[in-house]
Amino acid sequence: MGNNGNDYGIRIDSYRAGDDYVFLITGGAAHVGAVACAYRHEGEIRSEKISVPGHREGELVQELAESAASKLGHRAVVIMGIHIDHATKQDIAQIITLVHEKMRATLESEER
């Protein structure tokens, strides 16, 4: 498949829930594969995640939720579902890079 300028349809929609944040990350055939919630407790960022069996987004949503909670100073929920048919290891690596880049940009815009 290769990237060749393809962003795999990855998008991040962000929502406010009072002082807290919700991020919905989708791409390809959008779905819910994993959810993570990160929050500050006793001075530390903690998180919980739920992954649908057979989905691999769990570690990434947890990492992104923790990063968002730390950077924004409020609870953050990340919901992710990215499915690309016949994705290669190179596609997956590129998708992870794109998600990180887009999340960084989203967090920067939320801080303003």
Is the distance from CB of 60 to CB of 68 less than 8 angstroms? no
Task: Write the CB contacts of 99 (distance below 8 Å, at least 6 apart in sequence).
Answer: 10, 12, 25, 60, 64, 80, 82
pLDDT of residue 2: 44
pLDDT of residue 5: 65
pLDDT of residue 6: 83
> Whose CA is closest to 60, among 21, 31, 92?
92
pLDDT of residue 25: 98
Q: How far is CA 105 from the centre of its chain?
A: 12
Is the distance from CB of 10 to CB of 98 less than 8 angstroms? yes
pLDDT tens for the chain, 112 residues long, are: 444 568 999 999 999 999 999 999 999 999 999 999 999 999 999 999 999 999 989 999 999 999 999 999 999 999 999 999 999 999 999 999 999 999 999 999 987 6
Residue 57's φ and ψ, nearest 5 degrees, are: -80, -10
**pTM (global) more than 0.85:** yes
pLDDT of residue 3: 47
> Whose CA is closest to 61, among 100, 23, 35, 22?
35
The stretches of the chain forming alpha helices (DSSP H) are 58-72, 89-111
